[in-house]
Structure 1
């Protein structure tokens, strides 16, 4: 399937959409005031060591202290001879408060949690990942051929400078690369590491010593592939910057980068903004008339498949099967588009035919294979659910673009006007036992006041007689339904 990349540039944010057949499949957003930190290197200062959790908090100059676990310290990966350590060394023997530490962010801050750190430093190039502290050479397992992996390892070993003490990981982009391209990547990464070391010597802790590439540059490095037909950018200046950058590091895609100067906004050409709006909704309509319900919680994400109005099959089993097949493709697309990660539970419509289950699972795996993010998928459980995980490295689309509802406090529902009426009456009774005002005044939303004036008027009058005080009503248009005040006059 061929893909196009659309890059929308504004002074406040960069948005990238990857489309296939004119339909958005993946979306990335980077705002200038909240750029992601994954891949950045910091000279941090250890703020607190927690032996009980075998972890530490490290000040890297951000609002919240970052977090590092003992397993993410390179001293516990390599022994003195460069072999795996037999047993992890306790963190309190490796770190102390006030210690300067070179760290790399491996996971952005999520919610109330600070960034996750590691001292296993790695710097990504176009075809290689440089490991300055580890001597070995590895090859990506996504390069399917064992012979190709061995050949790449041997070629890199021959190209590696004799004075090089660091190691490399060969990325999938290196398949078919020439020795000149690999050598150029090695030279670039060595120069970059030398610049980082110079900054470490002259900068105090905490400070930033290396910032990862911009989103637009990362797109060229990581997402552009032989299947990419075109890369459209709606900023002339950024287009030239990307052409210059690609000319140095990814020359094979230079001729695919072009400036978009059409009258319509770039994202409108593929209805991307409409897709974003749909991706923020719980309900996803399927072409057949079925639909998905996607609920994202703190612990996991659930996807429920429903037939809806689809009755196109020859029989009920056939209808269910076709709906599930269509849902499998839609689910894979929604996971990419919404960037959903962690534990994901898929509740397909129950099927009795084992062949149908196998076909749906095959269709799901086929659709998921286009996703660049690592994931695992189990088969159907005894309850008919498919459990899967998708690696989470950044906030989901909903967390990036939305915030908790101030009216319902993220519950997804609000108390009914009648429930609020009774709550207000109980509160007045409670206040009457403690205070002796001349009058109670209820200030609330229109729906609550209307109910007091109509169906609940008798109960309010009975309470007024009981406490011996008049109760008046006042509508406050600015109040949400659950918001009210009881004023003592």
Structure 2
């Protein structure tokens, strides 16, 4: 069974995709720093870099957004085609495609898109009809194009999503009408808005991500927050007739623990990933690229050295594809497989990797091996990796190492206390941690602490200890309150 689990707490939201009990995707949204991907702004051009056909646009965020305004990038030494010309002070309507990461601001585009349940409307003159590659039936693809050809208004294009298959002309028309109305309203409002101005804010992270993941085969969507459950229910985008069951999880046991994915989620930050054979991967992220090293580890094999190496590399290829998706590793990825003498073995490993990455929703390309035997992969960047979201640069080593953020420590501490109260007879816990960690855990005027005590009708005592690191804490359990 395939599930989407939505775990919402006062500090964060975690959304997991679980396929037959295995965690395959994990989305983390801090409620203090929510994603702005999909938002549409009226921005003001602050700087133009003509040599790069790019501009930096003020959209009201801490850092100016990056806008590439050329029609196409130069792939040869010849001059690229010249796109529209921008100058400082111009107002532009832009949509965020990537969140800000590190020292870089958000990435935006002037090519707006308006996603619906099974269509995406694009305000462009080409009147093209794109269809999801996952709709493979030729007759159905031709039918969709014929149906939409007459319904699509002038000046617009459309993309049919995976769950747009087998929909009637009336269903397409109804969604087109809603999307067209929203698009025209935004474009009209944008003509008079004083930049920087937010014109359209993407729906809640839960609805946005659930909609993105809904294209895959999902049997259940399980939510532990009543308001989010009602929001998904009212959206009407996950009907039971499509075979999807929407459930409100109300048990006191943390939702990830109840569905046996908590331990899998915690391992998603570990550098070392063990393979079933005894080999392991070492995964390291840098500013320039992601580096993955494959090792035989405890696996010595029973036959020849070459067969041992091939088996380890084949198993590693499958696990690497899974880790790219789980950790959202993107950009340039370099894999150092164990050296293989045979060209046939190298070809088999590359084929296995290409097959494995096809399951990824993000565009992933296996480029091939270098002369040094390093496998090159590129994966489209859409949001920060899990490590970038769930950890911060270590102040004690000038950013050369990382440790869990206060938000991550607090959320882990809260889940552990919830598990103790719901699964044991203990009536009281004493929590010792750094004062800043306890401040985040308790909340302003101890609102989060009081809410947790009221929920279980048990006692929590907090003891600050300045010497403790931000990622450390101690919980003492007591039977008497």
TM-score grouping bracket, smaller chain normalisation = 0.7 to 0.9
Q: Distance in 2 between matches of 1:210 and 1:72?
A: 25
Q: How does 1:38-437 map to 2 (within 5 A)?
A: 38-71=37-70, 88-89=81-82, 94-140=85-131, 142=133, 143-161=135-153, 164-200=154-190, 203-225=193-215, 227-246=217-236, 252-253=241-242, 255-412=244-401
- Give the count of matched residue pairs: 400
Q: Distance in 2 between matches of 1:53 and 1:353?
A: 43
Aligned to 2:33: 34
Per the alignment, do residues 220 and 155 of structure 1 end up closer, same or farther by CA in structure 2, a change over 3 Å counting? same
Q: Distance in 1 between matches of 2:384 and 2:228?
A: 26
Deviation at 1:140? Answer: 3.2
Per the alignment, do residues 312 and 281 of structure 1 end up closer, same or farther by CA in structure 2, a change over 3 Å counting? same
Deviation at 1:337? Answer: 1.1
Aligned to 2:15: 16
* Rg larger in structure: 1
Residue deviations 1:222-273 (CA, integer Å, cap 9, x gap): 21246212111111232122111125x7564585111112332111134433
Aligned to 1:452: none
Aligned to 2:2: 3
Deviation at 1:276? Answer: 3.0
Deviation at 1:321? Answer: 1.9
Q: Is the CA contact 2:127–2:155 (under 8 Å) kept in the aligned structure 1?
A: no
Deviation at 1:106? Answer: 1.9
Residue deviations 1:381-414 (CA, integer Å, cap 9, x gap): 332221110001111110111111122223359x
SS of aligned partner of 1:152: helix
Aligned to 1:441: none
Q: Distance in 2 between matches of 1:353 and 1:89?
A: 47
Deviation at 1:111? Answer: 1.2
SS of aligned partner of 2:86: coil
Range 274-283 or range 351-360, more displaced: 351-360
Q: Tell me the TM-score normalized by structure 2.
A: 0.76
Q: Distance in 2 between matches of 1:283 and 1:27?
A: 18
Q: Distance in 2 between matches of 1:318 and 1:270?
A: 37
Range 250-259 or range 395-404, more displaced: 250-259
Per the alignment, do residues 253 and 35 of structure 1 end up closer, same or farther by CA in structure 2, a change over 3 Å counting? farther
**Structure 1 residue runs without a partner (length 5+):** 77-85, 414-476, 481-489
Q: Distance in 2 between matches of 1:87 and 1:310?
A: 52
Q: Distance in 1 between matches of 2:15 and 2:303?
A: 42
**Structure 2 residue runs without a partner (length 5+):** 74-78, 403-465, 470-481
Q: Distance in 2 between matches of 1:113 and 1:395?
A: 11
Q: Is the CA contact 1:279–1:338 (under 8 Å) kept in the aligned structure 2?
A: yes
Residue deviations 1:61-115 (CA, integer Å, cap 9, x gap): 1111112123269xx9xxxxxxxxx974466xx2222222111112221211111
Q: Distance in 1 between matches of 2:157 and 2:210?
A: 24
SS of aligned partner of 1:71: coil
Q: Distance in 2 between matches of 1:175 and 1:54?
A: 38
Residue deviations 1:434-464 (CA, integer Å, cap 9, x gap): xxxxxxxxxxxxxxxxxxxxxxxxxxxxxxx
Per the alignment, do residues 294 and 255 of structure 1 end up closer, same or farther by CA in structure 2, a change over 3 Å counting? closer
Q: Distance in 2 between matches of 1:479 and 1:36?
A: 31
Instruction: Tell me how large the CA RMSD over aligned residues is.
Output: 2.7
SS of aligned partner of 2:293: strand
SS of aligned partner of 2:388: helix
Range 398-407 or range 30-39, more displaced: 30-39
Q: Tell me the TM-score normalized by structure 1.
A: 0.75
Q: Is the CA contact 2:161–2:215 (under 8 Å) kept in the aligned structure 1?
A: no
Deviation at 1:291? Answer: 0.7
Aligned to 1:483: none
Q: Distance in 1 between matches of 2:379 and 2:206?
A: 24
